[in-house]
Amino acid sequence: MTLASLLTEDQIISELVCSDRWQTIEEMVSRLISIGRLEEAHRGDAIAALCHREETMSTGIGFGIAIPHASCDAVSEVTACFGRSKKGIDFESLDGKPAHLIILFLVPRDQFQTHLRTLAAIAKFLNDPAVRELLNSAVDAAQILAVFEKKEAPKI
């Protein structure tokens, strides 16, 4: 499995409308529900798991990147959403700068190794300044997805 295989155009929000990290989590979870990747009945569980993780330690890793993630019973496989914010969202990142590229993912509770591999693959992929520039300059979801597909995203 690759990062690109976790995303479709529908799972990409090319311009987030939210203004803080909590709204970002809600907006991205809402997208997953609207496209059928997450059941409405699991909205509360997914948001609670993501917010609990975020309260434990911010998922803003710096360089304009945030990776909100959690393990929960709401999903049976890794489920992801990518969002971009040109204005930036305060995720209390390690470098104090706002996040512009956000990848949210949920992993089934019993898949600890998959969770770690997914997190590592995302961090490695977004560590490349050229990748970040391509994602920031893409005009729409199709171009964003193409970056994931063409840049040989690491396997999970």
What is the residue-wise DSSP string for 83-122? EEEEEEE----TTSPPEEEEEEEEEETT-HHHHHHHHHHH
pLDDT at 23: 97
Task: Tell the CATH topology of 4-150.
Answer: Mannitol-specific EII; Chain A (3.40.930)
pLDDT at 19: 87
pLDDT band at 86 (very low <50, low <70, confident <90, very high): very high
- Of the CA atoms within 13 Å of residue 7, those in its CB half-sphere come to 28
Contact criterion met (CB below 8 Å) for 3 and 145: no
Q: What mean pLDDT do residues 49-60 have?
A: 94
pLDDT at 103: 97
Beta bridge partners of 99: 89
pLDDT tens across 12-40, in order? 999 999 989 999 999 999 999 999 999 99
pLDDT at 116: 93
Percent of the chain with pLDDT strictly greater than 70: 96
E strand map for the chain: 12-13, 60-62, 65-66, 69-72, 79-89, 99-108
The H or E element that residue 123 is part of is helix 112-126
End-to-end CA distance of the chain: 5
pLDDT tens across 96-105, in order? 999 999 999 9
Contact criterion met (CB below 8 Å) for 7 and 82: yes
pLDDT tens across 119-137, in order? 999 999 999 999 999 999 9
- The one-letter amino acid code at 146 reads A
The Cα diameter of the chain in Å comes to 39
Beta bridge partners of 84: 101
pLDDT at 150: 85
Per-residue pLDDT at 65 exceeds 80? yes
Count of C-beta atoms within a 10 Å radius of residue 149: 14
Indicate which residues carry an active-site annotation.
69
Count of C-beta atoms within a 10 Å radius of residue 32: 24
